[in-house]
Amino acid sequence: MSRRLVIATRKSRLALWQAEHIKARLEGMHAGLAIDLLPLSTRGDELLDRRLDKVGGKGLFVKELENAMAAGRADFAVHSMKDLPAELPPGFVIAATTAREDPRDAFVSGKYATLEAMPAGAAIGTSSLRRAAQVLERHPRLEVRLLRGNVETRVAKLDRGEYDAIVLACAGLERLGLAARIRSRLEIADSLPAAGQGALGIECRAGDARLLGLLAPLDDAATARCVRAERAVNRALGGSCTLPLGAFAETRGKKLSLRALVASADGRRVIRAERDGDDPERLGAEVAAELRAQGADEVLASLGG
């Protein structure tokens, strides 16, 4: 039976690539299925002169997409999993989490091969408090500057000399065919990723059993289990996408190994916790409790809302 579906997506080239990728996979899986894209501009794409933590967080990238689904203009949305708030609005679910690509952060520079090679006072650009805090913890001599915009815009600003280096997600650069721009990949221990980094999340309205069935083959069970644990840490600490919070889980045998950190924006205080467990949500809550026991709430309160 033929069926036509609509994907809500942001207009950036990376978001469109991700939506086209999911469209091609689904059409290949289901004979007779046709999918259209509904590109939308979001508030997060429009507010490029301020930090996301000052204007509402990464949820600014998904609200318009959720509105389109609620109004029946779109059937589902494709997101970078790291951009999805820890709590979805009532009536929405994550239908699938795709297999994770490289979750690491990328160091991109035309001048320097590594962070260690950058001299005191050199400018490094990022839009992420998480990345900024971890860079400053290890390299306090550097100057971290705000860098907003889509991937191509950020790379163009680097090439114009506005920054000496920038830090982006490896997965986004690879999806856009820009892997050659990566000078070095920051190891997980040096730059703990955002929850869900490297995976795509498929969001749709809850209760549509047929749609959920169509999307289910996209789900990678091992990745989904890890991402659930990572997102549980965020949720337990307040659920904000703007927190300088890193979380990364790996499967080790039958267990999950989860590590997480919370940092002050200047990187002077970084709290870490690590634990193994079986249940993703419980493990995330336990790691969050361990961070709290070490003073995470005090660090988060110091961010000033």
Listing DSSP states for 106-158 in one string gives: EEE-SS-SSSTTPPTT-EEEES-HHHHHHHHHH-TTSEEEE--S-HHHHHHHH
- Residues of the chain above pLDDT 70, percent: 91
**CATH, domain 105-186, list 3.30.465.10, 3.40.190.10, 3.30.200.20, 3.30.470.10:** 3.40.190.10
Whole-number pLDDT of residue 98: 98
pLDDT over threshold 50, residue 91? yes
Task: Label residue 43 by pLDDT band (50, 70, 90).
Answer: low
- Per-range mean pLDDT, top range of 1-5, 40-44, 266-270: 266-270
Greatest Cα pair distance, the chain, in angstroms, is 63
Whole-number pLDDT of residue 39: 96
Task: Label residue 112 by pLDDT band (50, 70, 90).
Answer: very high
pLDDT over threshold 60, residue 271? yes
Contact of 36 with 4, CB cutoff 8 Å? yes
Cβ-proximal residues to 172 (8 Å cutoff; 6+ apart), any chain: 14, 80, 151
pLDDT over threshold 60, residue 52? no
Superfamily designation of domain 234-301: Porphobilinogen deaminase, C-terminal domain (3.30.160.40)
Tokens in use for 183? 């000078």
Phi and psi angles of residue 153, each rounded to the nearest 5 degrees, phi first: -60, -45
Average pLDDT of the chain, as a whole number: 92
Domain 3-99+199-219, CATH: 3.40.190.10
Mean pLDDT over 90-106 rounds to 98
pLDDT over threshold 50, residue 56? no
Phi and psi angles of residue 41, each rounded to the nearest 5 degrees, phi first: -90, 135
Active site residues: 83
